A and B are shown apart, each in its own frame.
Chain A
């Protein structure tokens, strides 16, 4: 049973507009959430994270919002740029675990249209 769900396999957004990628989780014990970005033929790279004690974290064009009651988080990219075209993985973990094990969603492929 999937603990981290990304229900949109793909998303197309016009360059310059806002991209919103969504993620839902089922385990209320998760207290740390991450977003990774992956280009073809490369490994994923860490993008941004948020702890469950916050509801928003911002880094430049990227903002992650967390709604704990809904067990939902979203990644906003504003403005979207051609280099943002990639697969985005949502992930969740438990901070207390020393093994740093992360549960990944299946990913959303983002296409930025010219």
Chain B
């Protein structure tokens, strides 16, 4: 079974703090993704990576950066947290290469609250 783990289930930070959210997958997947989920807005893509050290902006990259130094690990960084970044953050991975089995596998999520 694919396992995607996220470093924290719940996190509380103060405005202006630098925040790191870590995600690890154990299936040697090429692609990794960061989303945020907000009520009424669904899942919105922040950043994704299709290879080590490669990253692409998603739909809402402002205020975020990412790092992928190793294939299994994808980090989301909030350089200076703001209250409007309070949200559920979801990490996902997928095998890559296209084809009919390109579903993404999600981690359990991190509920981040910025005070």
Q: Which residues of A contact B (CB under 8 A)?
A: 6, 9, 32, 34, 36, 41-46, 49, 51, 89, 93, 95-102, 104-107
A100: which of B104, B108, B111 is its contact (CB, 8 Å)?
A: B104
Contact with A along B18-36 (1 / 0, CB 8 A): 0000000000001101000
| Inter-chain contact total with CB atoms closer than 8 Å | 69
Question: Is there an interface contact between B45 and A101, defined as CB atoms closer than 8 Å?
Answer: yes
By a beta-carbon cutoff of 8 Å, the part of chain B in contact with chain A is 4, 9, 30-31, 33, 40-43, 45, 48, 50, 56, 90, 92, 94-100, 102-109, 111
- Secondary structure at the B interface, as helix, strand, loop or mixed, is loop
- DSSP majority for the A interface? loop
Q: When chains A and B are docked, how far (Å) is the Cα of A67 from the Cα of B37?
A: 28
